[in-house]
């Protein structure tokens, strides 16, 4: 997203806490040694890519912000990355043991979320988990600006995500909300 190029310094300074760490740690611990993980919206890689790498995962990052990816590559120079919007990113079929998308999908309009989920679903091996965050009520809202840059957020309801995931061969297994109000969805590739 172009907006993240504008706020890269602010984002990097504020994305140092533990949001998402317990969930990604649990996911990583459930994977086989050396699992290949697609990190959608990898940003700077901190803290979530680091968690995956510490658990022995082989990570591939995708982000559309060149500024954030420059920081990612400085943090993790040996991790492959793609500078692309996930809904248009060319990914190998059935190549990944898991995927995460923390703080990404809700930036995409509804039709773009469907395209993104379709791309991710095709890239996952059968049985692979997909952990993502988004809202839990259908609609679009204007969010508070970050460093003066406005953001708009889009989400489906839980049932809407369940149906969207099912349409692309994924089954929604669980949802929960963390203390910071982030809503997590855990789905699994069933194809």
Is the model's pLDDT at 125 over the cut of 90? yes
Task: Write out pLDDT tens, residues 134-169.
Answer: 999 999 999 888 888 888 899 999 999 999 999 999
Is the pLDDT at 8 greater than 70, yes or no? Answer: no
Q: Whole-angstrom Cα distance, residue 119 to residue 45?
A: 21
CB 101 within 8 A of CB 63: no
Q: What is the three-state SS of 24-85?
A: HHHHHHCCCCCCEEEEECCCCCCCHHHHHHHCCCEEEEEECCHHHHHHHHHHCCCCCEEECC
Residue 15 in this model has a pLDDT that exceeds 80: no
How would residue 5 be classed by pLDDT, with cut points 50, 70 and 90?
low
pLDDT at 11 over 80: no
Domains and their CATH numbers in the chain: 1-11+43-150 (3.40.50.150)
pLDDT tens digit sequence for 36-53: 999 999 999 999 999 999
Phi, psi for 27 (deg, rounded to 5): -65, -50
Closest CA to 50 of 16, 89, 11, 98: 16
- Residue 44 pLDDT: 96
Percent of the chain with pLDDT over 70: 97
Q: CB of 101 within 8 A of CB of 86?
A: yes
> Per-residue confidence at 16, pLDDT binned at 50, 70, 90?
confident
Residue 23, number of CB atoms within 10 A of its CB: 20
Residue 1 has pLDDT above 80, yes or no: no
Checking if the pLDDT of 171 tops 80, the result is yes
Residue with tokens 């420059």: 70
Average pLDDT, the chain: 94
């Amino acid at each position: 997203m172009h907006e993240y190029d504008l706020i890269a310094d602010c984002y990097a300074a504020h994305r140092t806490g533990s949001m998402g760490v317990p969930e990604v740690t649990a996911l990583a611990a459930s994977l086989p040694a050396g699992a290949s993980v697609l990190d959608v919206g990898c940003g700077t890689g901190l803290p979530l890519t680091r968690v995956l790498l510490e658990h022995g995962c082989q990570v591939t990052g995708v982000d559309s912000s060149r500024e954030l990816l420059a920081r990612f590559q400085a943090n993790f120079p040996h991790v492959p990355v793609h500078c692309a919007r996930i809904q248009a990113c060319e990914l190998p079929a059935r190549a990944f043991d898991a995927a995460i998308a923390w703080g990404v999908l809700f930036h995409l309009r509804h039709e773009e979320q469907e395209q993104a989920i379709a791309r991710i679903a095709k890239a996952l091996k059968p049985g692979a988990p997909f952990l993502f965050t988004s809202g839990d009520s259908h609609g679009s809202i204007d969010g508070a600006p970050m460093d003066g840059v406005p953001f708009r957020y889009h989400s489906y309801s839980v049932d809407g995500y369940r149906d969207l995931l099912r349409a692309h061969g994924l089954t929604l297994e669980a949802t929960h909300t963390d203390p910071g109000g982030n809503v997590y969805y855990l789905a699994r590739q069933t194809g």
